[in-house]
Amino acid sequence: MGNEIRSVAFIGTGVMGAAMAGHLMDAGFELRVHNRTRSKAEPLVERGAVWCDSPGDAAEGADAVITMVGYPSDVEAAYLGDGGIIARASEGALLVDMTTSSPALAERVARAAGARGLASLDAPVSGGDVGARNATLTIMVGGDDDAFERATPLFSAMGKTVTLHGGPGAGQHCKMANQIAIAASMLGLAECLEYARQSGLDPEKVIATLSGGSAQSWTLQNYGPRVLAGDFAPGFYVKHFVKDLRIALASAEAMRADLPGTALAKRLYETLAANGGSELGTQAICLLYEDAAAREAQGVSVSATAAEAASC
């Protein structure tokens, strides 16, 4: 197998993965797909992708393998399990995990892949469902220069800002930094809107005003209007964000970095997830600050005050 990538195995066709895989097909790559729930891959199969019964089946014969799954345990099973991707990938294949996962696991996968002569990259993304649909994702990459160069046509089909940050695990470390920043901005949005409401201001005017000044942010501009419209549909699930914040804090602890603000955000998101919000989008943290009727309409049964009291 040469360095040119023609066929791609794509594992994980959920909210973001399906759109990302579709862009690869649009770019002319032959696609082999697997997803835990086959129905979510059917639109791609109808377009000509080949369905495969397992990650290992999908990897066999593909020039590159991309995974976009839910949890580190899914990554570990897909790559390191019996009959998994590393065991069955073709000689010279490029492995790219785009799941938000553990930096330490990314290093393990890279070592196992290297032992078989396979190149691997950890390449988590930011931009949510909108970025996935519009092929404007930010892609944070860890691995070696040659593997990164080979993957460039794949990344160009799915994203807009692509950066190699270092060796194995560096992409995941950058994504953890990203999630830490998002946690702070989401909490800031929630408390900004709560303050505006309690002071009698029009929240829509507040968002418009702040978006023209130093408080302007992607979260404010993109999620502020969605929150005011009662749109808590997931671009990124609360349950997955809880997973990410746990990874971030575990990694920080291993480096002896103290992140009390992130720890607070994690506790609030954990309580939200445990009280009806796990399947909502990350902007649903704002529900913790809304009245009981608004919370109950979304199936959330706890307020911010109760959430923080429960976490102490």
Confidence of residue 1 (pLDDT cuts 50, 70, 90): very low
For residue 29, the surrounding DSSP H or E stretch is none
Q: Are residues 132 and 212 in the same domain?
A: no
Task: Give the total number of structural domains in the chain.
Answer: 2
Counting residues of the chain whose pLDDT is more than 70, the rounded percentage is 97
Of 115, 132, 166, the domain-final residue: 166
Tokens of 187: 């909490």
Of 135, 166, 197, the domain-final residue: 166
pLDDT for 310 equals 59
Query: What tens digit of pLDDT does each residue of 29-39 get?
Result: 999 999 999 99
The identity of residue 10, as a single letter, is F
CA gap 36, 68 in Å, rounded: 12
Q: Please confirm, yes or no, whether 160 is among the known catalytic residues.
A: no
| Mean pLDDT (whole number) for 65-88 | 97
pLDDT for 235 equals 83
Counting residues of the chain whose pLDDT is more than 90, the rounded percentage is 90
| pLDDT reading at 298 higher than 50 | yes
pLDDT for 2 equals 53
CB-count exposure of residue 64 (10 Å: 0-12, 13-18, 19+): buried
Of 115, 143, 166, the domain-final residue: 166
Q: Which of 153, 143, 205 is nearest to 173 (CA)?
A: 143
Query: What tens digit of pLDDT does each residue of 3-16 get?
Result: 789 999 999 999 89
Q: Are residues 105 and 247 in the same domain?
A: no
For residue 297, the surrounding DSSP H or E stretch is helix 292-297
Q: Is residue 2 part of a domain?
A: no
Between the CA of residue 152 and those of 44, 93, 113, 128, 160, what are the distances in Å? Answer: 22, 15, 19, 20, 11
Q: Are residues 188 and 105 in the same domain?
A: no
> Any idea which of 30-34, 56-60, 76-80, 297-301 has the lowest mean pLDDT?
297-301
Q: Which of the pair, 301 or 110, is modelled with greater confidence?
A: 110
| pLDDT reading at 121 higher than 80 | yes
Helix axis angle, 103-115 to 170-198, nearest 10°: 160
How far out from the chain centre does Cα 32 lie? 21
Q: Scan for tokens 């949890």, then name that residue.
A: 71
Q: Is residue 36 part of a domain?
A: yes
Catalytic hit among 40, 175, 243, 266:
175
Q: Are residues 222 and 262 in the same domain?
A: yes
What pTM was computed for the model?
0.91
The three-class DSSP label of residue 8 is strand
CA gap 22, 256 in Å, rounded: 41
Q: Scan for tokens 């804090």, then name that residue.
A: 249
